């Protein structure tokens, strides 16, 4: 149980660190206007994850209760989706590009709302949760709904820590990215390996 949760936390941290629209958005807001504005964006994004976790918890738990074979199908779909993400990342450019130019100043409340809506209305987040979470159910003695909320809580906590670090250290991080052209390449391959490992883990 503990080993599964630690594996989940580790995989989450690697995936959260990998360049994506969320952490790049946090980074640009923090660089342009300061860490307070970056943190407002972070809290909005993390709050949105709670909605996806709730949909997953009750939806997939109902599937498990109804049919074990259907749940196996969900896990197989999850593994295929993660393999497709690995291939998509392999085919993509490893360059990390962002610009703080022409970023409109908004209030912290507006940024929180924007981060929340951006996360909730992104169907890719729901699909990713569906692919990622079921493989890390950690016990048969606890309700699957509770287990999904535990995983969702870990995901949100890890993401909060990493996104907050990005917001606080935005200046130093951006300078390091600009100086070291290989960072994007290394993160790209780490992400590919993590996607494939999770896919294998789900099917085992």
Backbone angles phi, psi at 107, to 5 degrees: -75, 165
What distances in angstroms separate CA 191 from CA 28, 62, 121, 127, 194, one per listed residue? 22, 31, 24, 17, 5
Whether 195 and 20 have beta carbons less than 8 Å apart is answered as no
Q: What is the mean pLDDT of residues 2-21?
A: 88
> At residue 101, does pLDDT exceed 70?
no
pLDDT band for position 6 (cuts 50, 70, 90): very high
- How far is 193 from 14, CA to CA, in rounded Å? 10
pLDDT band for position 39 (cuts 50, 70, 90): very high
pLDDT band for position 158 (cuts 50, 70, 90): very high
- Per-residue confidence (pLDDT) for residue 103, from 0 to 100: 58
- Per-residue confidence (pLDDT) for residue 191, from 0 to 100: 75
pLDDT, tens digit, 9 for 90 and up, residues 119-147 = 888 878 888 898 889 889 999 899 999 99
Instruction: Please report, rounded to a whole number, the percentage of residues in the chain having pLDDT higher than 90.
Output: 28
> At residue 156, does pLDDT exceed 80?
yes
Greater model confidence, 96 or 186:
186
Please tell me the pTM assigned to this model: 0.80
Instruction: Please report, rounded to a whole number, the percentage of residues in the chain having pLDDT higher than 70.
Output: 91
Return the exposure string of 92-121: e unless at least 16 CB atoms fall within 10 Å of the residue's CB, then b.
eebebeeeeeeeeebebeebbebbbebbbe
pLDDT band for position 186 (cuts 50, 70, 90): confident
Give the 3-state secondary structure of 7-42: HHHHHHHHHHHCCCHHHHHHHHHHHHHCHHHHHHHH
- Per-residue confidence (pLDDT) for residue 100, from 0 to 100: 56
- How far is 175 from 104, CA to CA, in rounded Å? 22
Greater model confidence, 146 or 75:
146
Q: What is the mean pLDDT of residues 41-46?
A: 94
Q: What's the mean pLDDT when you consider all of the chain?
A: 84
Domain ranges of the chain: 2-203
Q: 194 burial class (0-12, 13-18, 19+ CB within 10 angstroms)?
A: buried
> At residue 102, does pLDDT exceed 70?
no
- How far is 8 from 143, CA to CA, in rounded Å? 18
What distances in angstroms separate CA 58 from CA 27, 113, 146, one per listed residue? 33, 25, 10
Q: Residue 143's Cα: distance from chain center in Å?
A: 24
CA atoms within 13 A on the CB side of 102: 2
> At residue 3, does pLDDT exceed 70?
yes
- Per-residue confidence (pLDDT) for residue 47, from 0 to 100: 95
Could you tell me the maximum CA-CA distance found in the chain, to the nearest angstrom?
Answer: 53
């Amino acid at each position: 149980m503990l080993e599964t949760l630690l594996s989940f936390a580790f995989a989450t941290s690697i995936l959260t660190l990998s360049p994506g629209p969320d952490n790049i958005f946090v980074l640009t807001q923090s660089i342009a206007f300061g860490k307070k504005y970056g943190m407002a964006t972070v809290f909005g994004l993390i709050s949105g994850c709670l909605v996806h976790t709730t949909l997953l918890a009750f939806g997939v738990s109902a599937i498990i209760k109804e049919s074990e074979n259907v749940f196996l199908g969900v896990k197989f779909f999850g593994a295929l989706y993660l393999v497709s993400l690995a291939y998509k990342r392999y085919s993509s450019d490893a360059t990390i590009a962002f610009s703080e130019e022409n970023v409109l100043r908004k209030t912290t409340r507006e940024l929180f709302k924007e981060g929340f809506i951006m996360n909730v209305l992104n169907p890719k987040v729901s699909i990713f949760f569906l692919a990622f979470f079921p493989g890390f159910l950690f016990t048969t003695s606890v309700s699957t709904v509770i287990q999904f909320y535990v995983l969702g809580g870990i995901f949100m906590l890890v993401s909060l820590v990493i996104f907050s670090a990005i917001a606080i250290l935005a200046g130093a991080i951006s300078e390091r990215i600009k100086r070291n052209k290989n960072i994007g390449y290394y993160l790209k391959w780490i992400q590919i390996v993590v996607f494939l490992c999770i896919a294998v883990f789900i099917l085992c």
